[in-house]
Amino acid sequence: MSNPLRIFVPVKRVVDYAVKVRVNATKTDVDRNVKHSMNPFDEIAVEEAVRIKEKSPKTEVVAISCGTAKSQETLRTALAMGADRAVHVEVKDDSTLQPLAVAKLLKAIADKEAEKPDLFILGKQAIDDDASQTGQMLAGLLNWPQTAFASKVEINGKDLKVVREIDGGLETVATKLPAIITTDLRLNEPRYASLPNIMKAKKKPLVKLTPEDLGVDISPRLQTLKVEEPAKRVGGRKVENVDELVDKLRNEAKVL
Partner 1 sequence: TRSTLAPRFYTTGAGINTLLYVEHKDGSISGATLNALTAAKKLGGSVTALVAGDAPESVADQIAKFQGISKVLTAKNAAYTHSLPEDIAPLLVEAQSKFGFTHLVTGHTAVGKNVFPRAAALMDVAAISDITGIESEDTFVRPIYAGNAIATVKTSDKIKVVTVRGTAFDAALDGEQAASTESAPSAETLSLTQWAGEEIMKSDRPDLGNAKRVVSGGRGMKNGENFKMLYDLADKMGAAVGASRAAVDAGFVDNSLQVGQTGKIVAPELYVAVGISGAIQHLAGMKDSKTIVAINKDGDAPIFQVADYGLVDDLFKAVPELTEKISK
Query: Within positions 80 to 119, which residues make up the interface with partner 1, using CB under 8 A?
Result: 98-100, 103
Spatial CB neighbours of 213, under 8 Å, sequence gap ≥ 6: none
Toward partner 1, which CB reaches closer, 152 or 200?
Answer: 152
Return the DSSP state at 80: H
Q: Shortest distance, CB of residue 206 to partner 1, whole angstroms? A: 28
Query: Within positions 16 to 35, which residues make up the interface with partner 1, using CB under 8 A?
Result: 17-18, 20-21, 23, 30
* 4, 72, 85, 131: residue in contact with partner 1 (rule CB under 8 A): 131
- Return the bridge partners of 85, or none: 62
Site size with partner 1, rule: CB under 8 A? 79
Query: Within positions 225 to 254, which residues make up the interface with partner 1, using CB under 8 A?
Result: 225-230, 233, 235-239, 241-243, 245-246, 248-249, 253
* 152, 158, 161, 191: residue in contact with partner 1 (rule CB under 8 A): 161
Return the DSSP state at 248: I
Under the binding rule (CB under 8 A), the answer on residue 190 touching partner 1 is: no
From the number of C-beta atoms within 10 Å of its C-beta (0-12, 13-18, 19+), residue 58 rates as exposed
CA distances from 102 to 30, 145, 155 (A): 21, 18, 26
Q: Shortest distance, CB of residue 55 to partner 1, whole angstroms? A: 22
SS3 122: strand
Candidate ranges 2-10, 47-55, 203-211, 217-225; the one touching partner 1 (CB under 8 A)? 217-225
Cβ pair 164, 148 in contact under 8 A:
yes
> Dihedral of CA 172/174/175/178: which sign?
positive
Q: Shortest distance, CB of residue 95 to partner 1, whole angstroms? A: 11
Toward partner 1, which CB reaches closer, 110 or 201?
Answer: 110
